[in-house]
C-alpha cells in the first residue's frame, strides 16, 4: 500500500551533456536547453497539482540551478533547498572531460557501456596530472563536506555512489519523508539511478538498462518501509520521454565521421 510520495529529478541538460562529455564532478551550469527543461518540469508539476516542502540537491551548480528553476516555475521560491556532496554525480575518475562517442571508437562500445552503466566496475582513478584534478579538489565547496578532501572519491562505481549516498538518505532525507513532507531530490543521472536501485530492489544486472533523461520528473510511491510499491512514473509526454531516453542511451555509441 502506498504511504509516501517521492520525486526524483535528473538535472536539466548541462553544457557537457550537450557535448557528450563525461562531466561528473566538474562544475558546469545548465545549457540553454537545460534551463528550458527545468522550467518546463516546474510548469508540468504545477499543472498536475504537486507542491514541495523541501528540496535536496548535490553541491554541483547544475543540480542546484535546476532546483531553483523548478521552484520558480511552481511559485515556490521560498521552499528550503538543502545541498550535500553525497548526492553528487558519480565520479568518473580519469574519464572526466572525455567524449563518450570518441571513447567508444577507441575502446569499443561495450567497454564504454561498462564504464557508464555497470554496477560494480570502477573507472581508472583521477590523479594530479589530470587537467581537471585541481579544478575539482581546490574548489572551496569541498571544504564543506563531512569528510576531509583527501578522503573524497577519485573514481566511483555505481555501487560506491550508493554506498556514500545511503548514509545521507537514512539520516537526512528519510526523516523528512516520514514526516509526510513533499520531497524533491534534484540530483544527477547516477545518484538518482543508485537510489532507484535501492528503493525498487533492482538487480545488479538490470540497473544497467535503467535510463533517466534530463529534466524529466520521476514519481515514486513508497510503502511504510520506504520501498517502491508501484512502477516508477516518468511524468510528461511519453513519446518525448522515450525519445529522450534513446538519446541518452545513444551517447555511448561510436559515431563514425562522414568523409
Question: Does 227 show up as a binding residue in the annotation?
Answer: no
Catalytic residue among 11, 130, 156, 200: 11
**Residue 205 neighbours by CB distance under 10 Å:** 9
215 is annotated as contributing to ligand binding: no
Is 12 a known ligand-binding residue? yes
| 17 is annotated as contributing to ligand binding | yes
Contacts (Cβ under 8 Å, ≥6 apart) of 136: 25, 26, 96, 126, 142
The question of whether 102 is a catalytic residue gets the answer no
3-state SS assignment for residue 30? strand
* Residue 84 known to bind ligand: no
190 assigned ligand-binding residue: yes
Residue 10 in marked binding region? yes
Does 116 count as an annotated binding residue? yes
How many C-beta atoms lie closer than 10 Å to residue 148's C-beta?
9
Torsion angle of C-alpha atoms 56, 237, 209, 154, degrees rounded to 10: -30
CB-based contact 219:235 (threshold 8 Å): yes
> Is there a catalytic annotation at residue 89?
yes
Task: Single out the catalytic residue among 19, 37, 47, 89.
Answer: 89
Q: Is 90 annotated as a binding residue?
A: yes
The 10 Å Cβ neighbour count of residue 235 is 17
Gap between the terminal Cα atoms of the chain: 58
Give the residue ranges of the annotated binding site: 10-17, 62, 89-92, 116-117, 189-190
Give the residue ranges of the annotated binding site for substrate: 10-17, 62, 89-92, 116-117, 189-190
> Which residues are known catalytic residues?
11, 89
Amino acid at each position: 500500500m502506498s504511504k509516501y510520495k517521492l520525486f526524483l529529478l535528473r538535472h536539466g541538460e548541462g553544457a557537457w551533456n550537450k557535448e557528450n562529455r563525461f562531466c561528473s564532478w566538474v562544475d558546469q551550469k545548465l545549457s540553454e536547453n537545460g534551463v528550458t527543461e527545468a522550467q518546463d518540469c516546474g510548469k508540468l508539476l504545477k499543472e498536475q497539482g504537486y507542491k514541495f516542502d523541501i528540496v535536496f540537491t548535490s553541491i554541483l551548480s547544475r543540480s542546484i540551478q535546476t532546483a531553483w528553476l523548478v521552484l520558480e516555475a511552481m511559485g515556490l521560491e521560498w521552499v528550503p533547498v538543502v545541498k550535500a556532496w553525497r548526492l553528487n554525480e558519480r565520479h568518473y575518475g580519469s574519464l572526466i572531460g572525455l567524449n563518450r562517442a570518441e571513447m567508444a571508437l577507441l575502446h569499443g562500445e561495450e567497454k564504454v557501456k561498462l564504464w557508464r552503466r555497470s554496477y560494480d566496475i570502477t573507472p581508472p582513478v583521477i590523479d594530479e596530472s589530470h587537467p581537471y584534478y585541481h579544478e575539482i579538489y581546490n574548489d572551496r565547496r569541498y571544504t564543506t563536506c563531512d569528510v576531509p578532501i583527501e578522503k573524497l572519491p577519485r573514481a566511483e562505481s555505481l555501487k560506491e555512489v550508493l554506498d556514500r549516498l545511503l548514509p545521507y538518505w537514512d539520516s537526512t532525507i528519510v526523516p523528512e519523508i516520514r514526516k509526510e513532507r513533499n520531497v524533491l531530490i534534484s540530483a544527477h543521472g547516477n545518484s538518482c539511478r543508485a537510489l532507484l536501485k535501492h528503493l525498487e530492489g533492482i538487480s545488479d544486472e538490470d540497473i544497467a538498462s535503467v535510463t533517466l533523461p534530463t529534466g524529466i520528473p520521476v514519481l515514486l510511491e513508497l510503502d511504510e518501509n520506504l520501498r517502491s510499491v508501484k512502477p516508477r512514473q516518468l511524468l510528461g509526454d511519453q513519446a518525448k520521454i522515450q525519445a529522450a531516453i534513446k538519446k541518452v542511451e545513444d551517447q555511448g555509441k561510436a559515431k563514425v565521421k562522414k568523409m
